[in-house]
Amino acid sequence: MKITEVMAPEHETVVRVEEPSVGLTGFVAVHSTALGPAAGGLRMRPYADEAAALEDALRLSRGMSYKNAAADLPLGGGKSVILGDPARKSPEMLAAFGRAIDSLGGRYWTAEDMGMSPEDMAVVAGETAYVAGLPHGEYASGDPSPITARGIFSAIRITARHRFGSDDLTGRTVSLQGLGHVGVHLARMLHEAGARLVVADTDAARVTAAREAFGAEAVAPEAILAVEADILAPCAIGAILNEKTIPELRVAAVAGGANNQLATAADGARLHARGILYAPDFVANAGGIINVATEILRISDRAGYVDQKLAAVETTLDRILTRAAEADLSPNDIAEATVGERLVRPAA
Task: Please give the positions annotated as active site.
Answer: 79
Residue 288 binds ligand NAD (CB under 6 A): yes
Instruction: CB nearer to ligand NAD: give 8 or 187.
Output: 187
Residue 283, beta-bridge partner list: none
Pick the binder of ligand NAD from 127, 142, 202, 208 (CB under 6 A). Answer: 202
Residue 237 binds ligand NAD (CB under 6 A): yes
Label the pairing between strands 2-5 and 13-19: antiparallel
Residue 198 binds ligand NAD (CB under 6 A): no
Give the SS3 label for residue 285: coil
Residue 142 binds ligand NAD (CB under 6 A): no
Alpha-carbon distance of 41 to 345, in angstroms, equals: 23
Helix axis angle, 331-342 to 50-70, nearest 10°: 80
Measured CA distances, 171 to 29, 131, 168, 196, 246 (Å): 45, 43, 9, 6, 24
Contact, 180 vs 236, CB < 8 A? yes
Contact, 35 vs 76, CB < 8 A? yes
Residue 223 binds ligand NAD (CB under 6 A): no
Minimum gap (Å) between residue 265 Cβ and ligand NAD: 18
Residue 59 binds ligand NAD (CB under 6 A): no
Instruction: CB nearer to ligand NAD: give 75 or 93.
Output: 75
The one segment of 90-98, 171-179, 212-220, 330-338 that binds ligand NAD by CB under 6 A = 171-179
Residue 216 binds ligand NAD (CB under 6 A): no
Contact residues: ligand NAD, CB under 6 A: 144-145, 148, 177-183, 200-203, 206, 221, 235-238, 257-259, 285, 288
